[in-house]
Structure 1
Amino acid sequence: MRTLGGFADPFLAEIAGQPDALRRAAASLLERREELERIREAAVVSRTIVFTGMGSSYDACYPAVNDLAGRGFPAILVDTAELLHFRRPILNGQTLAVIVSQSGESAEIVKLANEIAEQRTRPFVVSITNGLDNDLARRADLTLDTRVGPESGPSTMTFAGAMTILSGVARLLAGDALDTAIDRTRTAAEGAALSAERLLDDPEAFAADLEDWHGGRGIMVLLGRGPARAATEMGALILKESGVMAESLESAMFRHGPLELAGPDMTAIVMATEPETRRLDLALAADLVEIGANVLVVTPDGTAPKGARSVATGYLDRALLSAVSIVPVQLLAWKLAQSRGRRPGEYTKASKVTTRE
């Protein structure tokens, strides 16, 4: 098991610290048993479950929202800026709001929490943050701490930790008994942690290999569907935060026009991890290879079309699969930043916590 020491820089150390972040977040649920029971009680009287966040916190919600909606529960995902300025009337006395924020201090998050507190009929608010000494947690009805600890670079450990807590919350909202929800979340987190440790066995060598595969191509897209969009959206974000232009698209939407960009100057990372659409995603990857794009396919078993590179995650609980499938993207972002003369994980224009809309 790796510690955060002995790495080239803090960003790489934080990437390597994700397996233990998964474990810490899952273990924290045991300490919040009474609070977690309140989620089940609040869900009974809620007509709508709204998940919201910004950046990586928003991306981390994809698996939980897809899981609940797939079981017939009225769960929706809206980024906090849109919710604040255009959709706030849905936050009423019959709403359960799950607000996710690394810091609990982002501009939109703080403003939304303040405005909810002033409503005459307000939703039941569950906050998920890294630590509890923040504006969001102070205004929430129920607070959950990811227990990730300090993180200075783009979201890696906090992304994994938030998804872990969200997986436990989703199980409770779907009707699992408290002990069942906690046990299943801890089992899922341990499986994801072990798989991530395998991919991170020699992170610098793997990152260098991925950079060679990338080959300096000018266009990069990340494609996925359903819960896998947590990895593709967050992957594109972390590449941008590392100074690399990349775009994330839902795989089906990519065929509706953006496919025209495909060719020898394109690198495409296809997350074909969801069983419902695996055949479709592998077919898209095969089409991209045929057109001449450079393609990496991530699947549980390493399956990929001829001519594409593959990465196997192992068969994992889909609630946390994105915490593993994103690892190659994180390592590629780290290496490309380093090779382009940037200090990996260091912001030059943005900041870790966005305090201005």
Structure 2
Amino acid sequence: MCGIMGYIGQQHTQEILTNGLKKLEYRGYDSVGVAIHDGEAVQVTKAEGRLDNLASRLEDAPLQGSIGIGHTRWATHGRPSDENSHPHTDSEETEFAVVHNGIIENYIELKQELVAEGATFTSETDSEVIAHLLTKLYDGDVVSTIQKVVEKLDGAYALGVVSRHTPGKLYAVRQASPLIIGSGNGENFISSDIPAVLEHTRDVYILEDGEMAVLTEESISLMDVRTGNSISRDLFRVDWDMEQAEKNGFDHFMLKEIFEQPKALEKTMAGRVDKETNEVDFPELAWTEEQVAKWDKVHIVACGTAYHAGLLGKAAIEELTRTPVDVEVASEFRYRNPIVNENTLVIAVSQSGETADTLAALRQSKELGAKTLSITNVVGSSISREADDVILTLAGPEIAVASTKAYTTQVLSFYLLGIYLAQKKKQITPEQNAQYMAALQEVPEQMEEILFHNDEIKEYGESIKDAKSVFFLGRGIDTAVALEGSLKLKEISYIHSEAYAAGELKHGTLALIEEGTPIISLLTQEKLYDKMLGNIKEVSARGANVLGVTMRGNVKVTQYVDETCFIPETYSLFTPLLSVLPLQLISYYTSLALGNDVDKPRNLAKSVTVE
């Protein structure tokens, strides 16, 4: 959840840390702080709230030094406050300062032991125990001390450490929480995510679980944190365009990322469609027909928005291959005894590739003998590295907490995967393949048509800002899109919102409909039009105000709804790529009308790296 930034070099450390933390605020913004070694002592400044609060304090009392660590927090243990802000220290003398992303599961036992031995704690966090353990176990060598501390920790942690004892070194450790090392010229960096260091370097090491790094101005040493054995690894060269991590003229990252979806889909398709045969080809998979034929079941595991993409993946794979597919929230999948074996394909979906529950479900599936595939947007992420195979969505950096382009590229990846599997199983004719691919290749242009004619969508979003509740209805695959639209609205507007399969209305939900209740109904599946119209009549009779999202040409629906949003016609299976755009825009404009921080909704963080 939290964001870590660290620097060692000859530039202005305070400025580098705060600039890096600004790019990491999407990971949490309950509090923020920095610790900088001035050559003699470690000085700490931190503040509850966002980076501006810290900046004000640093302006009044700037910190000098050439080595430091910073942290932006998403609260797990302890309320947002100055005291609970990171970095945490061990004592007034500050022998050690530490920043932490993750959860120390055995911190209560450790804290009780430390308090019994005389340690004084100033925060409610689990992270502070690390600082006190460092002082308690210090043996004259910081590396071996960190190794001793790590042996005592249960849970997930990415750590950045500075010590009064070593003014020329910065330390980093990773276990089940993301951490990268940036390699510069006479300077080096640590960070939770690549965009925070791109201004300074494009060469990075991606730490893996159980690894530690020791940084000086001129060197980076990687080692196994348990054994101390040296690790040799090639640098990873980041080829992102810096402009991808900026707003590029848009008022918010979310709006920019909504408008980037046509290009993101084009990039995701590029190189995966054979120009001569027009068939789907995943060079990164290279699965054989015999291998694919062996899988008699598919499991999709994911959380949040990625779970909604998985529901559409189920629809695509089942329709195209007639292979049964289960979709499950990863946090539930991992705590039961799933029926998974060597004849199962397990697909783990995560935008960041670091989602803790999804990663755990992936590991469990591998232990049970399943073939594993990840669909993710982040090169080198844990899920991409640990799965047997990976499909990268190529959406580019997504900064807004509310996912948009990562979602639609996941959905597109599932469509391509479904066609690919159908080809391998010989369950698709050349004519069908041509029809599917023609429809998919038209989608980016159709998206642009929706995006650049959205005035009515904006007006509708503004019109529902005072609603007590909003309901989304759909049938078939429209239900999955309704779930995603509802999630988007509630997470950035804070309006209570629910999505239902429309046929469920009469089983309780109808009791919640009253005069003026906004209902957003999706009608993109022609074979289900009449059923949906019946449900619309039911809510209209109770006084609901209904917006219908439907295919262009379906004028019949206008007789039954109060407002209509038309999307271009496409093959019925692929309508979710288009119908979700109005829902994303509605949530954006509603949140904007309410004066909310669209990119950084309260209580949420971009990457959920704790359970």
Whether the TM-score (by the shorter chain) exceeds 0.5 is yes
How far did 1:307 drift?
Answer: 4.1
User: 1:224, 1:271 within 8 Å by CA — same for their partners in 2?
Assistant: yes
User: 2:346, 2:362 within 8 Å by CA — same for their partners in 1?
Assistant: no
Q: Equivalents in 2 of 1:135, 1:30: separation in Å?
A: 27
How far did 1:8 drift?
Answer: 1.9
The one-letter code of the counterpart of 1:164 is L
Q: Equivalents in 1 of 2:288, 2:585: separation in Å?
A: 36
How far did 1:207 drift?
Answer: 4.2
Identify the residue that residue 140 of structure 2 maps to in structure 1: none
> Relative to structure 1, is the Cα distance of residues 34 and 13 closer, same or farther in structure 2, using a 3 angstrom cutoff?
closer
Q: Equivalents in 1 of 2:336, 2:537: separation in Å?
A: 40
Identify the residue that residue 64 of structure 1 maps to in structure 2: 313
Identify the residue that residue 460 of structure 2 maps to in structure 1: 210
The one-letter code of the counterpart of 1:83 is F
Identify unmatched segments of 5+ residues in structure 2.
1-243, 275-280
State how 1:127-138 maps to structure 2 within 5 Å: 127-138=374-385
Q: After superposition, what is the alpha-carbon deviation per residue over 1:107-158, rounded to whole angstroms, capped at 9, x for unaligned?
A: 10121223334x2x41111111003311111111111100001111111000
- Does 2:298 match 1:49? yes
- Does 2:443 match 1:192? yes
Identify the residue that residue 93 of structure 1 maps to in structure 2: 342
How far did 1:215 drift?
Answer: 6.2
Higher normalized strand content (fraction of residues): 2
Q: After superposition, what is the alpha-carbon deviation per residue over 1:195-250, rounded to whole angstroms, capped at 9, x for unaligned?
A: 221111144x3443113543632120111122222311111111121022211111
Identify the residue that residue 255 of structure 1 maps to in structure 2: 506
Question: With structure 1 as the length reference, what TM-score do the two structures score?
Answer: 0.90
User: 1:22, 1:160 within 8 Å by CA — same for their partners in 2?
Assistant: yes
Higher-Rg member (1/2): 2
How far did 1:193 drift?
Answer: 1.7
Which has the higher relative contact order, 1 or 2, with Cα contacts under 8 A spaced 6 or more apart? 1
Identify the residue that residue 144 of structure 1 maps to in structure 2: 391
- Does 2:267 match 1:24? yes
Could you tell me the percent identity over the aligned residues?
A: 23
User: 1:29, 1:182 within 8 Å by CA — same for their partners in 2?
Assistant: no
> Relative to structure 1, is the Cα distance of residues 82 and 208 closer, same or farther in structure 2, using a 3 angstrom cutoff?
same
State how 1:215-254 maps to structure 2 within 5 Å: 216-242=466-492, 243-254=494-505
**What SS is found at the alignment partner of 2:391?**
strand
User: 2:301, 2:361 within 8 Å by CA — same for their partners in 1?
Assistant: no
Q: Equivalents in 1 of 2:445, 2:341: separation in Å?
A: 41
Q: Equivalents in 2 of 1:147, 1:70: separation in Å?
A: 25
The one-letter code of the counterpart of 1:228 is D
- Does 2:283 match 1:34? yes
- Does 2:608 match 1:354? yes
Q: Equivalents in 1 of 2:337, 2:463: separation in Å?
A: 43
Identify the residue that residue 76 of structure 1 maps to in structure 2: 326
**What SS is found at the alignment partner of 2:527?**
coil
Kindly report the root-mean-square deviation, in angstroms, between the aligned alpha carbons of the 2 structures: 2.5
> Relative to structure 1, is the Cα distance of residues 198 and 39 closer, same or farther in structure 2, using a 3 angstrom cutoff?
farther
Higher normalized helix content (fraction of residues): 1
Q: Equivalents in 2 of 1:220, 1:213: separation in Å?
A: 12
Q: Equivalents in 1 of 2:303, 2:446: separation in Å?
A: 27
> Relative to structure 1, is the Cα distance of residues 58 and 80 closer, same or farther in structure 2, using a 3 angstrom cutoff?
same
Identify the residue that residue 274 of structure 1 maps to in structure 2: 525
Identify unmatched segments of 5+ residues in structure 1.
none
User: 2:523, 2:550 within 8 Å by CA — same for their partners in 1?
Assistant: yes
Identify the residue that residue 292 of structure 1 maps to in structure 2: 543
- Please, which moves more after superposition, 281-290 or 132-141? 281-290
The one-letter code of the counterpart of 2:334 is L
Identify the residue that residue 587 of structure 2 maps to in structure 1: 333
Q: Equivalents in 2 of 1:15, 1:179: separation in Å?
A: 34
Q: Equivalents in 1 of 2:589, 2:254: separation in Å?
A: 11
Q: Equivalents in 1 of 2:561, 2:501: separation in Å?
A: 22
Q: Equivalents in 2 of 1:131, 1:182: separation in Å?
A: 29
> Relative to structure 1, is the Cα distance of residues 73 and 150 closer, same or farther in structure 2, using a 3 angstrom cutoff?
same
User: 1:40, 1:172 within 8 Å by CA — same for their partners in 2?
Assistant: no
1:107 alignment partner, one of 348, 351, 356: 356
Identify the residue that residue 312 of structure 1 maps to in structure 2: 566
User: 1:63, 1:226 within 8 Å by CA — same for their partners in 2?
Assistant: no
Number of matched residues? 351
